[in-house]
């Protein structure tokens, strides 16, 4: 690993922070949005043992195209084709309806690249932990449980990618009585 990787990672973090700067998460405290991509990248590095910089960059950028004005071409121009591909694979198609997007994630999960599967596992793990900590305003316990059950169906299509992340997800799900 070259020292340049660190500069690259920090430049990516800077880019994602600017893009998400006006956004907040749905938790009651309305924490800064960037806490989530940082959390996803940290899960990959600290719990998943992931050292591939492109995957960590993909984690930092994973919600920029879906949730901000960022385009995939912009990602490619700044960070190259392999990072672009990862972000593309984890970005929901906004042209689809809510229900279609949810179904599409379940159906596509088994067919995305190894790198995208890692980001998707860490993304789900971070969101599930957040929901366990505190439900978003207006979310009933039933809605939280529905999210857990949907996430389980997505994760079933990602199994065999990273045992540490999958075990951590199993643990979080068990806390809600969901058996993965
Ligand atoms: P989602 O179920 O898609 O919300 C979950 C997503 O919110 C996560 O995947 C995550 O996505 C993001 N998120 C932001 N903050 C948090 C957090 N603190 N913890 C966990 N996840 C977080 O539903 P939406 O809120 O997007 O709702 C969209 C539509 O769904 C609305 O029109 C709503 O009416 C409808 N709906 C309503 C239901 C109800 O019971 N009232 C049930 C289902 C849908 P990411 O990682 O991409 O940021
Ligand atoms: Zn996310």
Q: What is the pLDDT along the chain (180 residues), one digit of tens a residue?
A: 677 999 999 999 999 999 999 999 999 999 999 999 999 999 999 999 999 999 999 999 999 999 999 999 999 999 999 999 999 999 999 999 999 999 999 999 999 999 999 999 999 999 999 999 999 999 999 999 999 999 999 999 999 999 999 999 999 999 999 999
CB-side neighbour CA atoms (13 Å) of 161: 26
Structure tokens at 6: 């660190």
Task: Quickly list DSSP for 124-146.
Answer: HHHHHHHHHH-PPTT--HHHHHH
User: Distance between the two ends of the chain, CA-based, in angstroms?
Assistant: 35
Q: What are phi and psi of 24, to 5 degrees?
A: -125, 155
Ligand 1 near 40 CB (within 6 A)? no
Ligand 1 near 102 CB (within 6 A)? no
Which residues on adjacent β-strands are paired with residue 32? 24
Q: Which ligand is nearest to the CA of 23?
A: 1
Question: What integer pLDDT is reported at residue 1 of this predicted model?
Answer: 63
* Ligand 1, atom 1, residue with closest C-alpha: 147
Q: How far is the CA of 2 from the centre of ligand 1 (A)?
A: 38
The C-alpha atoms of residue 94 and residue 27 are separated, in whole angstroms, by 23
Contact between 58 and 87 under an 8 Å Cβ cutoff? The reply is: yes
Candidates 46, 21, 45; CA nearest to 34 is 21
The C-alpha atoms of residue 83 and residue 74 are separated, in whole angstroms, by 11
- Residue located via tokens 């700067």: 21
Ligand 1 near 143 CB (within 6 A)? yes
Question: What integer pLDDT is reported at residue 2 of this predicted model?
Answer: 77
pTM: 0.96
């Amino acid at each position: 690993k070259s020292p340049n990787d660190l500069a690259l990672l920090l430049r990516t973090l800077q880019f994602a922070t600017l893009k998400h700067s006006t956004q907040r998460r749905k938790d009651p405290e309305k924490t800064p949005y960037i806490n989530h991509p940082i959390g996803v990248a940290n899960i990959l590095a600290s719990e998943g043992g992931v050292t591939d910089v492109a995957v960590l960059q993909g984690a930092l950028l994973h919600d920029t195209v879906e949730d901000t004005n960022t385009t995939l071409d912009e990602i490619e121009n700044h960070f190259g084709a392999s990072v672009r591909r990862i972000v593309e694979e984890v970005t929901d198609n906004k042209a689809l309806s809510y229900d279609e997007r949810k179904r599409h994630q379940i159906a596509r999960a088994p067919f995305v690249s190894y790198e995208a599967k890692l980001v998707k596992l860490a993304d789900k793990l971070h969101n599930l932990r957040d929901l366990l900590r505190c439900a978003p305003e207006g979310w009933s316990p039933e809605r939280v449980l529905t999210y857990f059950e949907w996430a389980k169906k997505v994760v079933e299509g990602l199994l065999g990618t990273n045992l540490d992340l999958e075990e951590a997800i199993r643990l979080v799900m068990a806390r809600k009585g969901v058996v993965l």
